[in-house]
Structure 1
Amino acid sequence: MDFGWNDDQLARYDKTLSDVRGAFPFEDTSRATDHYRREDWLRLGKLGLLGPSVPARYGGGGLGALETARQIEALGRGCAETGLVFGASAHLFACAMPLVDFAPAALRAELLPGMCTGELIAGNAITEADAGSDVSRLAVTAQRVPGGWRLNGEKSFVSNGPLADVYLTYATTDPNAGHFGITGFVVRRGTSGLAVGGPMEKMGLAQCPAGTVRFDDCFVPDAQLLGEPGQGAAIFQHSMGWERACLFAGYVGLMDRLVDQCVEHARSRRQFGRRLTAFQAVSHRIAEMKLRTESARLLLYRACWEMDQGRPATLSVALSKLAVSEGALSSALDAVRIFGGRGYQRADRIEAALRDTVPSVLFSGTSDIQREIITRELGI
């Protein structure tokens, strides 16, 4: 593994970071609790951040997992609207990448260019009221009919759902086959029998709307099938490899930003006639934040590198996801403590970082699920 970046890669990161900061100024807190707008999405598309891992022939950047993660890391560091960062990453890794690898050629050509430019927003519809960590028993069903399938049931917590133009969803096609009875589908907004719910009230990731999607005898033609019938669970796990690695690069960027903010605050803030840097309770806390950030970054880079090398990356991805999510949550809480009462206010976005990191230990497989994967990979 090469621990260095070449000049082009360094320049790409710096440009992305600069462009993101210009497009989404940190000082602009007017939309801190508002959902993103279409113009925000198109701006991300113009910056090339909705499809860095999508092949260039579909309008993407054609980058591998490691370089893609580096771009998402810059996005997470430069954009304090973490809900927007999350929504864009879910759109790319849970939706675009399954299309790249499993959709029919005509469907890829139809959807991927618009998903890269920002003309289309995608939502991943997998979670159900009674199917969170266990996705082998989906209540949404798909019944074979001439020319396609009829879907029935409801998905919950679909990120980007209320605004999405296209949904990747998974349904039970054979209830007796367990993981081999799940099939993936692509459904366009406006399809007869598809009902999209409004945005939920959430603790964090405020800029990314999430809601329900219901199917009532919703017909999906065979041309919009992902892979083969029964391949849905494998396709979903494939997308989770991308999501658990590359999406969480945005949280590494957030951790970088928190360290930067805490260092600046500790240098400028004075208490008892001394700078905060003079108090070990503060400086050592920042040192721990930096340790978590760099440890998580290295684990994430290794996971992405293994993906690029075509190596089995299940263990590395689980370790990376666990380290980043738990580290980001701990560092956000430390940042609130370092900023004190000011950290509880919205102006510095410290309290927002705390709220935005809480769900990171839940989605894409909870921390306990990652520990289960790790122990299984160790043969325990």
Structure 2
Amino acid sequence: MDFGLSPEQRDRCDSIFDEVRARWGQRLECADDPDTTRAAFREAGQLGLTGLCLPRDVGGGGLGALDTSLCLQALGRGCADTGLAFAVAAHLLACAVPVRDFVSEKARGELLARLASGEFIAANAMTEDGAGSDVSAMRTVARRSGSGFVLDGEKSWASNAPVADVVVTYAVSDPDAGYLGVSAFALPSDLPGVSLGPPLLKMGLTGCLAGRVHFEACPVPEEYLLGEEGQGSAIFQHSMVWERACLFAIYLGMMERQLQQVVEHASRRRQFGRRIGEFQGVSHKIAGMRQRLESAQLLLYRACWLMDEGRDHVAAVALSKIAVSEAAVANSTDAVQIFGGRGYLVGGAEDQLRDSVPSTLFSGTTEIQRELIAKDLGL
């Protein structure tokens, strides 16, 4: 069992970190501006971040889950705007991965290279007003029409939706078939009948624009169907495994950056004639931050390694998702406390806390992950 990174892995991650810090070492001005997002995606594409695990023949990096996560961790460590890092990771894992694995040959040439380069931005449109974790309550429908489909319905929350060129979405194609009655699509957002809503106002992750997606009598040619008709639920679960395992590496990177900032602050800040890091109330809190970070990191690396090895990984991914998300919230809360009033100011540690809170919700809530773990135990 080797816990070290290879020289190639270290060099790749160091290069990404240096490039990202040079570009996005400070939070973006007007991060909620669509033009700013599109420009950032083009830069991320130049760094290879939008295509890390996509095939080399379309301009991707050809990386497995572990190496993809290592790169996303470097992105999260170097990028002060966790929302932007999240936007790139969601584009890659929730959208480009199912396109990579299930798109038709006809649409592959149209979509995959542009997704890999960041020329196209993708949005994952699954969540509906009445169907969050309860996917069986989905109301968006896809009915056969000629050689294609017609989509009707509305998705309430899709990351990258306001700037999306491609929408990966799911709809009920056979209401009587249950799990096997959902189909998946990757369709251009400029098709007739597709409407992308304005950015939603959110607590955090403001660098990732999210919005509603409305389908009204939207004709979808057959080539934009992912996999076979009725495979949508399986395709969604496949994409979620990649997202749950790899996306949370950006939070490992954020916590690394955060820990360094806290240590530097505790070494400089003086109260009662001493550095605050000399007080156990502070130093032990920082030690706990490191413990949570490194524990979560080991679980995430193990989950990704199991994926790459083709071994059973469902429970391992759920364990890592819980560990990383809960560590991010707890560490960010501690960081605000250690920074004190400065941490509560905009631009202090408060933004890290706001960006961390939703991590326990997306990609399957913490409660859903615990259900998966309990099921793996035979309960």
CA–CA distance in structure 2, aligned partners of residues 375 and 112 of structure 1: 37
CA–CA distance in structure 2, aligned partners of residues 298 and 37 of structure 1: 32
Report if aligned partners of 1:50, 1:115 keep a CA contact under 8 Å in 2: yes
Confirm or deny that 1:54 pairs with 2:54: yes
Task: Provide the aligned C-alpha RMSD in A.
Answer: 1.1
Partner of 2:365: 366
Give the stretch that moved more between structures: 176-185 or 69-78: 176-185
Amino acid at match of 1:315: A
Partner of 1:260: 260
Partner of 2:271: 271
Post-superposition Cα deviations, 1:208-244, rounded to whole Å, max 9, x if no partner, equal 1111111111010111100011100000000000000
Q: State the 1:7 CA deviation.
A: 0.9
Give 4+ residue runs of structure 1 displaced > 6 Å after superposition. Answer: none
CA–CA distance in structure 2, aligned partners of residues 52 and 369 of structure 1: 28
Q: State the 1:29 CA deviation.
A: 5.8
CA–CA distance in structure 2, aligned partners of residues 222 and 136 of structure 1: 24
CA–CA distance in structure 2, aligned partners of residues 268 and 53 of structure 1: 41
Could you tell me the percent identity over the aligned residues? Answer: 54
Q: State the 1:124 CA deviation.
A: 0.4
CA–CA distance in structure 2, aligned partners of residues 141 and 344 of structure 1: 45
Confirm or deny that 1:216 pairs with 2:227: no
Counterparts of residues 70-89 of structure 1 (less than 5 Å): 70-89=70-89
CA–CA distance in structure 1, aligned partners of residues 216 and 23 of structure 2: 40
| TM-score, normalised by the number of residues in structure 2 | 0.98
Pair 1:155–1:29, CA change in 2 (3 A): closer
Report if aligned partners of 1:29, 1:347 keep a CA contact under 8 Å in 2: no
Partner of 2:66: 66
Partner of 1:203: 203
Q: Secondary structure at the match of 1:206?
A: coil
Report if aligned partners of 1:136, 1:233 keep a CA contact under 8 Å in 2: no
Q: State the 1:32 CA deviation.
A: 5.8
Report if aligned partners of 2:293, 2:327 keep a CA contact under 8 Å in 1: yes
Instruction: Point out where structure 2 has 5 or more consecutive residues left out of the alignment.
Output: none
Counterparts of residues 223-372 of structure 1 (less than 5 Å): 223-348=223-348, 350-372=349-371
Q: State the 1:37 CA deviation.
A: 2.4
Confirm or deny that 1:376 pairs with 2:375: yes
Amino acid at match of 2:13: Y
Report if aligned partners of 2:64, 2:308 keep a CA contact under 8 Å in 1: yes
Instruction: Point out where structure 1 has 5 or more consecutive residues left out of the alignment.
Output: none
| TM-score, normalised by the number of residues in structure 1 | 0.97
Q: State the 1:367 CA deviation.
A: 0.5
CA–CA distance in structure 1, aligned partners of residues 321 and 109 of structure 2: 31
Confirm or deny that 1:155 pairs with 2:155: yes
Pair 1:328–1:108, CA change in 2 (3 A): same
Post-superposition Cα deviations, 1:226-267, rounded to whole Å, max 9, x if no partner, equal 001110000000000000010000011111111111000000
CA–CA distance in structure 2, aligned partners of residues 239 and 89 of structure 1: 12
Pair 1:148–1:29, CA change in 2 (3 A): closer
